[in-house]
Each structure stands twice: as C-alpha cells, then as structure tokens.
C-alpha cells in the first residue's frame, strides 16, 4: 500500500504553488476576472515553463500524480485559468481542453477562452461546445457560459474520468486554502476581548470543515489511483470522490464564510474570491444531488467497490 | 506511484479469516456479549484458534508471540473481525492496546507474565479509566492509591468499564500523588480482578449485557510490581493507550458490510425503495470508504512514526459519525422492507443490533467533543 502521492509529484505541486505565488498569488484571480480573454495566458506560459503541459496525464501514473498536485495548487490560488481542463484534454482529438457537461442546460467555464474545447457527457458522447453570450457579467457568471453542443463522436468514456477527476483536485486546493485562511483569521480577529479561536463554538466549526476536507484528500488519492490503473470501477470512484468533494465544499465554504463574518463577503478578503470561483466546480457538470443520482444509478445493486462489494 | 491494493498476502489473509469465521462461528453471530453464555464460549474458543494459527497478534514482534506482520495485515484483521461482529470478544483490547502498552512500558516480569497470555488468547482485560465525575475530563479522576508500607491501598470507583464481569485483569489508572497539574501524579496498575476488595456491578444498557459496568475498589492492595511504567507518569501512558485504542476498531467495516449486503438481501424489493433512500445508501457507502481511507492514513503515518493526535481525531470523528449515519440509513431500509428467508432475518437482526450499538460510537473511547478539541488544537497550532 502506498497511499500518498509520490515525492516528485508532491514536490512539483509545491513548485507550482510557489511559482504562482511569485507571479501574483491572490492577484491572479482578480486579473483573470478583469480580463477574461487573457486569463489562460496569464499563467499558461509560466506553467508551460514548468513542464505542466507536457505531462503524460493519461499514459503515466506518475505524471498523472504530478498533474493532480498542480491542479490542487491552482485551486489554492483560485485562478480560473482552465488548468485542470487543459490537463484533461483528449489525446485523440485536436483540442486544447476538455469539459464534462451535463444537466438540462449544458454550461461550462469557457467564457472568454481562446482554447479549442471538447465537451463530453457522462456517457462518453463528445461534442464541440460553442459558448453563448453571457446574460450577465463575467464576474457574476464566474466565467460560466451556456454552451451549444455540436456532436463529434461517442468515444469519450476515458475522457470522462479525467474530466471529472482533475477539477476535484482543484476544488480540494480551494478547500485547503479556505481552511487555512479561516484558521488564520480566527486567530487574528478579536471579539469580546479574545481571539475568535478561543471560542469552542468556533473551534468545533473548524473541525467540521477539516474532517470533510481531509476526507476529500484521501478519496481524491484513491480515485487518482483508480483512474491511473483504469480499474473497472474508476468512473464510480471518481463520482464518489466528486460527491464527497461537493458535500465538503458546501459545508466547508459555508463554515469558512461564517467564521469570517462580513469581511468574508468583501473583495478585499481572499475567501470571497476562492468561494466565488469554487462555484463552477461545485455546480458543473452536476451539483450534489445530480452527482448522487448519477452515482446511485450507476451503482445499481452492486454499490461501490469496497471490502464487501 | 500510489497503490491502494493491500497485496496478495493480505488478500489471502482475508480469505483465510473469512473461511475461519465461516467454519468456527455460527452464521448470524452477533458477538460475544449477549444474554447467551454460549456466545462468549464461542469467542474464547475462536481466540484460541486464532492464536494457534498465529492470527491473533500478527503485528506483534516475534519475541512476544507475534509474527511481525505488516500494519496492513493487522488492519485487515481488525476490519474482518469487526465486520463479523468481533468474534474475538473482548480480546481485541488485549491485542490492540494492552499488549503493545506493556511491551513499551512493562518490566521484564510484566512482559513475561502478561504478553504470552494475551498472545494465546487466554485472558480478558478491562480498562479502569472513567469515573462518575471523570469522563471526558479523565485527569480529574479520584480513585487513589495511597502508600501503605511497601505497597499501595487503592480506593475508588470506576464506571462504564466494558467486560469487567468477565475480565481477569484490570488496566487501572489511579492517582498516586497530588501535584500542580491534574495530569501529573497519575499511575497505571495492572491488577487481577479477583484481588480482594474489587467488586463489579453490571449496568443494564441498550447495547446489551457486559458492555458497561461499575467497578468498586475498597482498600485493594497493590505492590510496586503491579505498577506499569513510571510512578506518577501514567498520563503519558494513557495518551499512548488512547492513540492505539482510537484506531483499534474498524467500525467502518461492519457498516460497509451491512450496507453492501442490503440489495442482495432485499432482492427485487430493493428497486422499490424510494430513490432518495437509495441515494442515502450510496452516500453512506462513500462515507464508509472515506472513513476507511482516513484510517489507512493513520496507519501509514503511525508506521512512519508521524501520526499526530489531529490525524487520529479526524479519523475518529469521521468513523464514529459514519457509524451513526449508516445506522440511520440501514434502519430506514429495514423499516421500509420485509427481508425474507434466513439471510434476510439474519441481516435484519444484525441491522437492529447495529442501530442500538451505534448510539455509543460517538461517546466510547473519547467523545466526539474531545476529538474536536484535540483536532482544533492541532489545526490552530499548525498555522
């Protein structure tokens, strides 16, 4: 049993995080929002110089581990630069990025993107998405546009695995950051003459978020191994990860906002940016209930792989 | 690269254990602690069988009767035993934490006296920690050992003491001196339960018999040879005990087994259950996996000597709350179905047992609130 990312992958994740920090850190998400058309170029060359786009995500388990570590680091800064989507791109189509679509009104965080996108639904049907004009501002939409889909083929079963897995790691990075920001804030902020962290009600809420976050981390590693080795249950494993990640994000972000109080709604606080840009990852292609329904349908009477199934 | 496969050896071990359970334990066995004394007999016999086959203390060092097996092998044993209603009875305590603690802190004489008996599956221990006024605040305990010549006189009361009616030995925490901090001045005594002055009174509970008892100590004699570890230094030993104990029970395994069996037991009636309930069922399976993986995180970090109280607390909170939410889902499935046949009836009885037993999950071995205190302390200290 080896249940942690390899040392090289973990180190690569740290390098990506540090590089993004040096390139602007928390300002990157703000710059991306101000210039949607430039948001991918904002970090594209930097990440390219680190070798991110050359990773053989589908062919090498080690390189998939490096990719998920990088996605997590992108989530730490909350940058909507289509990084997990670029890493998930299909290898048999001439495309730059992949997005999984679902639900009655397919949508994707493609506003302003100059990438060549491929969409895939949960049954592996691939299409070319064309973004509709935003009915609102990019800020309110968090770059999400409804898309019209032009069918391509139905050969995307493998794509679904990577298209679902990698954004979960970005969401995990966002949960890492939200928790870290909140731990820091409750130690700094004083009320009733002492830090918020001195109140047990605050401490216990933090632990609720942390238990959920830690659980997502373990499920993410498990699902990554399952996808890397193409286990027959890989799709259910990724859906199981996504279900837990969405539950954790709903609870965790709510707690982190609550403990930040009003400052957490304000643009001057990082948590507000992380929170807003977590929404597309949490709602698309399917939110909690849709993900649960899909997993239930696919699990049938068999359930998910485990000690007794 | 990561690999979540425990390997062929552990897979073979699981097969061996399941075969042993099938051969030695009656189908539908619900554990040693029932109103039927035969169930305890079954557990004691099974322990001897496990010991004979070298399966009882696999992870112990060979010098103490173990096989030096990998922590993953020991994890598989914990999972399989708990999934099948712990047919080792109370022996899991001796294997999981009494033995390892004696290995670390015992004298040569204590090791020679106790470890072979535990390894052979011949002895049952109980844990004398909690008191009427010292539950989560364990260090406030009042049971006192007072110097009397070359020994000690112990007076006080313990409560919530599992298996005390059947135990031959007690792992007792008592105050040996008053010091500045209440965590100081505590010591561990290893006492035979038949020593004069010890009285056990069972407490009737919704979990069934034997789970909880009161134990009274009335001028009980102990000498220095009964002391485990340093005089007045028992609190550190207790922390180690609790860290062993809190990962010692693979609660998720029984939840996972009962949940996984449900569709097969119900047959076509499964598809008639409300979609909402089947959604909760699959969510519960995901949460079982999550608890299992968090347990593996603790095992891996323990193996590297890097585990923290925060890691253990995360696992405990996830596993114990999962025990209860799984019980809710299982109870609802049972309430909306009519399991047929022998398998259906056995599953229904196991679910009913689990629903009652799960109530204690977030209290036993340290409440969820204590776990949250430990975890928040770790989170805040790390920033």
Q: Looking at per-residue confidence, does A178 or B382 come out higher?
A: A178
Residue B246: pLDDT band with limits 50, 70, 90 = low
Nearest CB neighbour to A292, from listed B1, B79, B282? B282
Give chain A positions within 8 Å (CB) of B370.
none
Pick from A220-229, B192-201, B304-313, B346-355: least confident: B304-313
B3 and A183 within 8 Å at the Cβ level: the answer is no
Residue B303: pLDDT band with limits 50, 70, 90 = confident
Inform me whether the C-beta atom of residue B134 falls under 8 Å from chain A C-beta atoms.
no
- A-facing residues of B in 21-80 (CB < 8 A) are 72, 79
CATH 1.20.140.10 domain extents, chain A: 159-299
- Give the chain A residue nearest B8 (alpha carbons): A1
Average pLDDT over residues B95-114: 94
Average pLDDT over residues B323-343: 97
The chain-wide mean pLDDT, for chain A, equals 97
Distance between CA atoms of B231 and A73, rounded to whole angstroms?
49
Nearest CB neighbour to B1, from listed A65, A296, A307? A65
Q: β-strands B213-223, B198-202: how paired?
A: antiparallel
Residue among A174, A171, A201, A173 nearest A186 (CA): A201
Inform me whether the C-beta atom of residue B11 falls under 8 Å from chain A C-beta atoms.
no
Give chain B positions within 8 Å (CB) of A293.
275, 279
A307 and B313 within 8 Å at the Cβ level: the answer is no
For residue B295, give how far its alpha carbon lies from the nearest alpha carbon of chain A (Å): 10
So where are chain B's domains?
8-89, 126-232, 250-382
Can you give the pLDDT at residue B258? 98
Q: So what CATH class is B250-382? A: mainly alpha
Give chain B positions within 8 Å (CB) of A218.
290, 293-294, 296-297
Distance between CA atoms of B270 and A299, rounded to whole angstroms?
13
Can you give the pLDDT at residue A189? 97
B83 and A65 within 8 Å at the Cβ level: the answer is no
- Residue A139 contacts residue A112 (beta carbons within 8 Å): no
Q: Is the pLDDT of residue B244 over 80?
A: no
Query: Among positive and negative, which fits the CA dihedral A82, A86, A90, A94?
Result: positive
A309 and B260 within 8 Å at the Cβ level: the answer is yes
Q: Is the pLDDT of residue A74 over 90?
A: yes
Q: What is the ipTM of this complex?
A: 0.97
Residue B65: pLDDT band with limits 50, 70, 90 = confident
Instruction: Report the SS3 class of residue A142.
Output: coil
Distance between CA atoms of B55 and A76, rounded to whole angstroms?
45
Count the Cβ atoms, other than its own, within 10 Å of residue A150. Answer: 10
Distance between CA atoms of B147 and B2, rounded to whole angstroms?
55
B2 and A204 within 8 Å at the Cβ level: the answer is no
Can you give the pLDDT at residue B375? 96
- Give the chain A residue nearest B382 (alpha carbons): A183
Give chain B positions within 8 Å (CB) of A187.
380, 383
Residue A152 exposed, middle or buried by CB count within 10 Å (0-12, 13-18, 19+): middle
- Give the chain A residue nearest B369 (alpha carbons): A204
Residue A22: pLDDT band with limits 50, 70, 90 = very high
Q: Which fold has domain A159-299?
A: Butyryl-CoA Dehydrogenase, subunit A; domain 3 (1.20.140)
Percent of chain B with pLDDT over 90: 80
- A-facing residues of B in 310-369 (CB < 8 A) are 313-314, 317-318, 369
Inform me whether the C-beta atom of residue B263 falls under 8 Å from chain A C-beta atoms.
yes
Residue B376 exposed, middle or buried by CB count within 10 Å (0-12, 13-18, 19+): buried
End-to-end CA distance of chain B: 29
Q: What is the pLDDT of residues B247-302, one digit of tens each?
A: 678 999 999 999 999 999 999 999 999 999 999 999 999 999 999 999 999 999 98
Residue among A101, A136, A137, A141 nearest A119 (CA): A101
Can you give the pLDDT at residue A278? 98
CA A230 centroid distance within chain: 21
- Give the chain B residue nearest A290 (alpha carbons): B279
Average pLDDT over residues A92-100: 97
The chain-wide mean pLDDT, for chain B, equals 93
Instruction: Report the SS3 class of residue A149.
Output: strand
B379 and A206 within 8 Å at the Cβ level: the answer is yes
> What are the helix (H) ranges across chain A?
7-22, 27-34, 39-49, 61-77, 83-87, 138-141, 157-188, 200-228, 234-260, 270-283, 288-299
Q: What is the pLDDT of residues A178-197, one digit of tens each?
A: 999 999 999 999 999 999 99
For residue B21, give how far its alpha carbon lies from the nearest alpha carbon of chain A (Å): 15
Give chain A positions within 8 Å (CB) of B6.
1
Give chain A positions within 8 Å (CB) of B278.
296
Question: What's the pTM?
Answer: 0.94
Average pLDDT over residues A225-239: 97
Look at the block and give the residue holding tokens 């049952």: B124
3-class DSSP string for chain B: CCECCCCHHHHHHHHHHHHHHHHHCCCCCCCCCCCCHHHHHHHHHHHHHHHHCCCCCCCCCHHHCCCCCCHHHHHHHHHHHHHCCCCCCCHHHHHHHHHHHHHHHCCHHHHHHHHHHHHCCCCCEEEECCECCECCCHHHCCCEEEEECCEEEEEEEEECCCCCCCCCEEEEEEECCCCCCCCCCEEEEEEECCCCCEEEEECCCCCCCCCCEEEEEEEEEEEHHHEECCCCEHHHHHHHHHHHHHCCCCHHHHHHHHHHHHHHHHHHHHHHCCHHHHHHHHHHHHHHHHHHHHHHHHHHHHHCCCCCHHHHHHHHHHHHHHHHHHHHHHHHHHHCCCCCHHHHHHHHHHHHHHHHHHHHCCCCCCCHHHHHHHHHHHHHHHC
B83 and A308 within 8 Å at the Cβ level: the answer is yes
Average pLDDT over residues B82-109: 92
Percent of chain A with pLDDT over 70: 100
For residue A116, give how far its alpha carbon lies from the nearest alpha carbon of chain B (Å): 31
Nearest CB neighbour to A218, from listed B259, B297, B375? B297
DSSP state of A305: S
Q: Looking at per-residue confidence, does B107 or B67 come out higher?
A: B107
CATH code reported for the domain at B126-232: 2.40.110.10
For residue A244, give how far its alpha carbon lies from the nearest alpha carbon of chain B (Å): 7
Can you give the pLDDT at residue B139? 93
A61 and B2 within 8 Å at the Cβ level: the answer is yes
Q: Is the pLDDT of residue B129 over 90?
A: yes
């Amino acid at each position: 049993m080896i249940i942690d990312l390899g040392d090289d992958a973990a180190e690569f994740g740290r390098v990506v995080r540090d590089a993004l920090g040096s390139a602007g850190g928390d300002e990157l998400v703000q710059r991306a929002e101000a210039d949607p058309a430039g948001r991918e170029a904002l970090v594209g060359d930097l990440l390219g110089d680190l070798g991110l786009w050359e990773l053989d995500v589908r062919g090498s388990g080690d390189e998939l581990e490096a990719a998920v570590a990088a996605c997590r680091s992108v989530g730490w800064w909350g940058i909507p630069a289509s990084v997990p989507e670029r890493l998930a791109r299909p290898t048999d189509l001439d495309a730059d990025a992949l997005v999984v679509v679902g639900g009655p009104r397919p949508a994707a965080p493609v506003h302003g993107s100059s990438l060549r996108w491929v969409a895939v639904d949960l049954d592996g049907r691939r299409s070319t998405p064309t973004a509709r004009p935003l009915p609102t501002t990019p800020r309110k939409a968090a770059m999400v546009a409804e898309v019209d889909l032009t069918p391509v083929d139905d050969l995307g079963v493998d794509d679904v695995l990577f298209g679902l897995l990698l954004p979960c790691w970005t969401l995990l990075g966002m949960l890492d950051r939200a928790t870290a920001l909140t731990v820091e804030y409750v130690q700094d902020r004083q009320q009733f003459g002492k830090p918020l962290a001195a109140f047990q009600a605050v401490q216990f809420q933090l632990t609720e978020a942390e238990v959920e976050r830690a659980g997502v981390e373990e499920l993410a590693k498990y699902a990554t191994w399952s996808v890397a080795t193409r286990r027959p249950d890989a799709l259910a494993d990724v859906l199981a990860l996504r279900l837990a990640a969405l539950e954790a994000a709903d609870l965790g972000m709510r707690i982190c906002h609550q403990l930040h109080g009003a400052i957490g709604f304000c643009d001057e606080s990082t948590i507000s940016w992380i929170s807003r840009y977590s929404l597309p990852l949490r709602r698309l292609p399917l939110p909690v209930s849709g993900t649960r329904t899909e997993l239930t349908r696919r699990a049938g009477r068999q359930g998910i792989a485990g000690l007794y199934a | 690269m990561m690999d979540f496969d425990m390997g062929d050896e552990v897979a073979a071990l699981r097969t061996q254990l399941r075969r042993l359970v099938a051969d030695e334990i009656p189908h539908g066995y619900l554990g040693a602690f029932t109103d039927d004394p035969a169930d305890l007999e079954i557990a004691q016999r099974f322990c001897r069988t496990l010991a004979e086959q070298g399966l009882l203390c696999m992870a112990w060092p060979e010098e103490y009767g173990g096989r030096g097996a990998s922590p993953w092998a020991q994890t598989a044993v914990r999972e399989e035993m708990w999934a099948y209603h712990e047919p080792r009875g109370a022996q899991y305590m001796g294997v999981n934490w009494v033995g390892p603690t004696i290995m670390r802190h015992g004298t040569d004489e204590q090791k020679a006296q106790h470890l072979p008996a535990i390894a052979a599956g011949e002895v049952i221990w109980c844990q004398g920690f909690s008191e009427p006024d010292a539950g989560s605040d364990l260090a406030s305990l009042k049971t006192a050992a007072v110097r009397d010549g070359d020994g000690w006189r112990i007076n006080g009361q313990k409560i919530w003491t599992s298996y005390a009616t059947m135990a031959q030995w007690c792992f007792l925490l008592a105050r040996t001196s008053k010091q500045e901090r209440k965590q100081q001045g505590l010591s561990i005594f290893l006492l035979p339960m038949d020593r004069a002055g010890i009285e056990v009174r069972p407490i009737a509970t919704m979990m069934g018999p034997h789970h909880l008892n009161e134990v009274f100590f009335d001028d009980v004699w102990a000498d220095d040879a009964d002391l485990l570890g340093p005089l007045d230094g028992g609190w550190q030993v207790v922390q180690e005990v609790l860290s062993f104990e809190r990962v010692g029970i693979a609660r998720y395994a029984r939840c996972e087994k009962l949940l996984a069996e449900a569709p097969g037991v119900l047959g076509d009636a499964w598809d008639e259950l409300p979609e909402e309930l089947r959604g909760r069922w699959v969510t519960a399976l995901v949460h079982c996996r999550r608890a299992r993986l968090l347990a593996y995180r603790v095992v891996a970090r323990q193996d590297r000597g890097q585990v923290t109280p925060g890691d253990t607390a995360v696992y405990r909170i996830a596993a114990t709350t999962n025990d209860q939410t799984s019980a809710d889902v299982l109870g609802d499935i049972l309430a909306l179905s009519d399991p047929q046949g022998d398998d259906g009836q056995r599953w229904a009885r196991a679910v009913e047992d689990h629903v009652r037993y799960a109530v204690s999950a977030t209290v036993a071995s340290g409440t969820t609130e204590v776990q949250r205190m430990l975890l928040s302390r770790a989170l805040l200290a790390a920033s």
